[in-house]
Structure 1
Amino acid sequence: MLEYWIGKPGFTNLQRIGIGLLLSALGMAAAALAEKHRLANAKEIAQSTAMQPISVFLLIPQFLLVGCGEAFIYAGQLDFFITQSPKGMKTMSTALFLTTLSLGFFLSSLLVSVVKKVTGWVGDRIDNGRLDCFYGLLAILSFINFWLFLLCVKWYRSKTTRKDPPVESVDKGEDEC
C-alpha cells in the first residue's frame, strides 16, 4: 500500500523529517489542549470542595506524538546528513547533526526564559501560569517550522537527482605525445 503512494517501499529521509515535524507540531497542539483542560479542572477544584481528579492518561497523546515525531526527525536527519554529504564530510555532517540538537535545546531554554519574562505564562506555580498559551505558541512555531521545511524541500535537489556537468573524456590516441 505504501508503495502506491510514494513509488518505493519506505519513506525517504526528507519525508521522515517532514512526518516528524508534523507529528511534533500536533503533539504541541495536544499539549496545549491537555493543559487547558487541566487548568480548567484546577480552577473548578479551587472554587468547590468536590475533588475531580484528572487522569495521567491525558498526557499520552502529546508524549506519543512528540516522541514519534522526534524518532522520525532524528532518523531522517541522520540519514540525510550521511547520504547527501560529500565523501570526506560524512563525520563532519554527523557532528553537525549533534550540534543542531544541542543548539535546539539551548534555544528552547532561551525561549522559556523570554516567554517567562515577557508574558508570565510560565510561572513558579503551575496553576498560576498559562502553560496552555505557551504550548499553543510552541504549536504555532512548530507548524511554521513545518511549512518552512516544506518550502525548502521544494527547492532542494537530492544528490542522486543533481545534474553535474558532463566531464569530457580525453581520447588518448596516436596524435598525443
Structure 2
Amino acid sequence: MTVLQALATDRLIGPHFNFPAGSVGVISLISTSIFLSFLDRVLWPAWHKFNGKSPSTLQRIGVGHVLNVAGIAVSALVESKRLKMIHSNPTTTMSILWLLPPLVLVGIGESFHFPAQVAFYYQQLPQSLRSTSTAMISMIIGISFYLSTALINQVHKSTDWLPDDINEGRLDHFYWMLVLIGGINFLYYLLCSTLYKRTQT
C-alpha cells in the first residue's frame, strides 16, 4: 500500500533526484537500524541507571505494538490529506516526504518489537528449541504476508476502497481498519502477557 501511495506522490527531491517508489520501504529499515543503536547505546543504559533494571522483553514488545499501530494511524491521516489535495485541485501532488513520518514510526516500533521478541523466545523456550527460536520471527513474517494478502483481497471484493486508481478509492479507510485490528491485537497481547506473568509468580 505504501508503494501505491508513493507512486501517487511527487517523488522529486531536489532538482535532480527522483525517489524510486519501490524503495520507499527502505525508510523504515533505515530508521530501525538507527534507533536500534540509540536504544542500545543511550536509552537502555539511561533506563537502567534511573530504574535499576532494564525493561522486560514483554514491555518492549508492547511498546513496539503501540508504535506500529501509531504508524498506521499516521499513514491514514497522511492519505486523507493527500486525497483532499487531489480532490480539491487535481493538478497538485503531495510530496513523498509526507510518507516519512509513518514509515519512521513503524521502523522505531520494529526496533522495540523484533529484538525483544527474539530475546523472549530464546529465554523462554526450552533449551532444545532455542536454536529454533530465531526462526520464529521469519515464520511469523511469512504468515503475516499471507494473511495481509487475504485481507486485501477480501477488502477489494467487499468494498470500493482499493480500486486500481487509489485517487478514486479510500485507502485511508483501509488504514483505519488496520488501526482497529491492531488495537484489538494489542489488547489481546496485553491479556496474554498479563496471564503469562501471573503464571510465572
Which bin holds the TM-score, normalised by the shorter protein? 0.7 to 0.9
1:146 aligns with 2:186: yes
Choose which of 109, 114, 124 in structure 2 pairs with 1:74: 114
Q: How many residues align?
A: 156
Choose which of 1, 16, 38 in structure 1 pairs with 2:82: 38
TM-score by length of 2: 0.71
Query: Separation in 2 of the partners of 1:40 and 1:7?
Result: 49
By percentage of residues, which structure has more helix? 2
Query: Separation in 1 of the partners of 2:49 and 2:121?
Result: 27
TM-score by length of 1: 0.80
RMSD: 2.0
Residue matched to 1:102: 142
Equivalent position SS for 2:162:
coil
Choose which of 7, 12, 16 in structure 1 pairs with 2:60: 16
Unmatched 5+ residue regions in structure 1?
164-177
Deviation at 1:6, TM superposition (A): 5.3
Query: Separation in 1 of the partners of 2:160 and 2:50?
Result: 46
Of structures 1 and 2, the larger Rg is shown by: 1
Unmatched 5+ residue regions in structure 2?
1-45
Q: How does 1:56-75 map to 2 (within 5 A)?
A: 56-75=96-115
Deviation string 1:46-69 (CA, Å, 9 cap, x unpaired) is 3xxxx4432222112110111111
Query: Separation in 2 of the partners of 1:138 and 1:54?
Result: 23
The question of whether the paired residues in 2 share the 8 Å contact of 1:81 and 1:97 is answered with no
